[in-house]
Structure 1
Amino acid sequence: MEKEIREFTLSIGVDDVGFANAFDYNSPKSYEITKFLPDAKSIIVLAFKVLSSCESPSLSIALNGYLDLEQFARNASYRVARFLENKFRAKVANIPWTAPFEIHNDRRAIADFSHRHAAVAAGLGSFGRHNLVIHPQFGTRVNFVSIITNLDLHPSPRSNEDFCIHCNLCVENCPGKALDIEGKTDLMKCMPHSLPYGVRTEIMFWNQLFGASTEEKKKMLMSEEYQRIRESHHLGNQYQCFNCMKSCPVGQ
């Protein structure tokens, strides 16, 4: 069964795939895996190599590279999920890498599900100093999506190798100093740089707008900041800092 799933997955353009026992997945801050599928037994993790266009000096080209990858990954994971249901009568919970996700005041900036921890459990790499997963072939330049299923699949061998070369370039090149504490990404320092037009910026914008004069409101609504906030609404999350990935020499 694992061979059939792997062959189908790679045939539609996915770059790598790994299998994990559902209870080998250990993400201490995310939800229990049974929240997504009560009779979960396995996780299938799909790996997608990031195209070089995502490191373009042009921000619009880099952003479009990631938007294209997200669309392709969603399509691929959905096709694999349909294959599992049609071929093996499986139950599945298809977990995309971005929104929508649950938002609670006591779980701010914590994902429902950690693809990073699932990828490590599925033998697709190990954590680096930047807290991203380093794939043995693609290095840091890789994204993951996951499919939880009730199929009892044989887990892929987990790697005990440390693929990080501990050069510290990710730490030195982080504009928010969000990686200064090893093993932790300080999201409150990261997000103003990685998501400069996210919800925090929007709340601040509207608070300022409500107290502004009529002329100031006109200027604010014609400003570049407001246009970027609007654009992020239409296109989804727009990460604008990839320094931790771009500075990593592993897999270049």
Structure 2
Amino acid sequence: AGSAGLIPSPELQEWRTACIALEKSKHEQVNCSIFGRKKKQYKDKYLAKHNAVFDQLDLVTYEEVVKLPSFMRKTLVLLGAHGVGRRHIKNTLIAKHTDKYAYPIPHTTRPPRSDEENGRNYYFVSHDEMMADIAANEYLEYGTHEEAMYGTKLETIRKIHHEGKVAILDVEPQALKVLRTSEFAPYVVFIAAPLLQNLADYDGSLERLAKESDLLRQAYGHFFDLTIVNNDIEETIAALERAIERVHTTAQWVPVSWVY
């Protein structure tokens, strides 16, 4: 049977998230694109269409959870503010444990370069093909950069699972709406911004990182299985490795929808 508890539902949290974003947008230009680290601003089609914030709001305010015996999570989801170090953590884990972790190869509409092979760093597809797959909800995230589209297709994540590996994703938090199912069984880790004390912040970037980190924690904190403050990148990676090993050998709380 196991124990059960209650946590706020995704619908309620999406409303809170939308309110936070709207409030923030009153004061500054908000760039939520999955390619937001680029210099130019691009519309985030994933947020605007594929995962609209208000598309499933209802009166459900709590979600039941149940305690299960230990089991292997299929997906490691790294959340955090842009620039907090998620990409480095992801690449380090994959390099150290090639037999355990993998990152889904993205699809793109840009033409391949002379030294590129389809399926190695990218899957190259036509614009029409990608748009058709987007319409069929086959992409987890996608966006546009320099007139080419890029995206992560759900089947590439499933392929990693079929190989017996854990898929590592450094995605936007809105992707949890798709990932939080028994099929993807995610372990969600929030990489929090480093503490500002004793750190020189000459250009204000650390303060920006801390503010974005706080906003993410407020909006999505109830989804986090683990939070690590990234004061030292190597210590963060070591702590994450220990936590993953521990979670695979202890009982876990999961949404009841994963079971029934």
**TM tier, shorter chain?**
under 0.3
Q: Name the structure with the higher helix share.
A: 1
TM-score by length of 1: 0.27
Q: Which of these two proteins has the greater Rg computed from alpha carbons? A: 1
Provide the TM-score with structure 2 as the length reference. 0.26
Q: Which has the higher strand share?
A: 2
